[in-house]
A = this chain, B = another copy of it.
């Protein structure tokens, strides 16, 4: 699949006049456990700026003031409140878990709770440390759902068993077959590729100015925001375009920046999506 502005325009459709925030998805973002609070903040900023309708964050309670200092638009609760987590999980059409989750017992428990309660119609983006936690689980036990994985090379090694040098397209496709049908893989590297079944899209954008902390959290938030709005049309295209746009914006900002801060990308999302929706 060629990934360019034309594909983006297929995904980022003008919004219907008669719609409301519920039309653009309900998202639950889980992560930002101490000492990684900033990660879920960056994912949330990206997700809201991508246009997700209603965004709720489950994180450390201590992390909420900083989140709200950036983004009063997101609701936020203590990830340890099991009932509230289940309530929010139930109504979400997309769940992101892993940005700044860490690998503590508490992190693993909340991941298990998500996996045990997710429904086949729901999208689950698994990012960062949740990928490492997932790598220790039996793939056969994964629930039926729309799974999206966003590992970098080392995380994919842990998850797939493929050493980085073995991560060819065909090996990756074979490894992906062990996951639930139609699982989408965003294989992050200096040239990110997006896989689903026999499909693969190689992104020809992005650069080393993106090599800074929080870049992946921002990508995960964008993918989540795109799924919230566009999954019902074509899930794979939505994830691919989100990944592409993330780097397109970075390329543009890098004309004037040696390093591109993740939050700068997020602020530019609405204007780029506007241009691509015309």
Q: List residues of A whose CB falls within 8 A of some B CB.
A: 12, 15-21, 23-24, 34-39, 41-42, 45, 48-56, 61-77, 84, 152, 189-190, 207-209, 211-215, 254-263, 269-271, 273-274, 277
Report the Cα distance A100→B12, complex, angstroms.
Answer: 30
Q: Please name the residue on chain B nearest to A12 by beta carbon.
A: B258
A-B contacts, 30 of them at CB < 8 A, read A12-B258, A17-B207, A17-B208, A19-B211, A20-B211, A21-B215, A34-B77, A35-B77, A36-B75, A37-B76, A38-B72, A38-B73, A41-B68, A49-B259, A52-B212, A53-B212, A63-B65, A65-B69, A66-B72, A70-B72, A72-B214, A72-B262, A73-B214, A75-B213, A254-B274, A256-B271, A256-B274, A257-B270, A258-B269, A258-B270
Q: A24-B212, A211-B19, A258-B12 are in contact. Are A38 and B190 (CB under 8 A)?
A: no
In contact, A263 and B36 (Cβ under 8 angstroms): no
Report the Cα distance A87→B165, complex, angstroms.
Answer: 28
Besides A34-B77, A38-B68, A65-B65, 17 other CB < 8 A contacts?
A15-B258, A20-B211, A23-B211, A35-B77, A37-B64, A37-B68, A39-B72, A42-B73, A62-B65, A66-B68, A66-B72, A68-B69, A73-B263, A75-B213, A256-B271, A257-B273, A257-B274
Contacts of A34 in B (CB 8 A): 77
Q: A35-B84, A257-B271, A258-B270 are in contact. Are A190 and B19 (CB under 8 A)?
A: yes
In contact, A71 and B38 (Cβ under 8 angstroms): yes
In contact, A74 and B258 (Cβ under 8 angstroms): no
Contacts of A50 in B (CB 8 A): 259
In contact, A263 and B72 (Cβ under 8 angstroms): yes
In contact, A48 and B258 (Cβ under 8 angstroms): no
A53: contacting residue among B67, B211, B254, CB under 8 A? B211
Contacts of A62 in B (CB 8 A): 61, 64-65
Report the Cα distance A27→B276, complex, angstroms.
Answer: 38
User: Shortest 10 CB-CB distances between A and B: which pairs?
Assistant: A38-B72, A258-B273, A66-B68, A15-B208, A35-B77, A257-B270, A69-B69, A51-B259, A41-B72, A73-B214
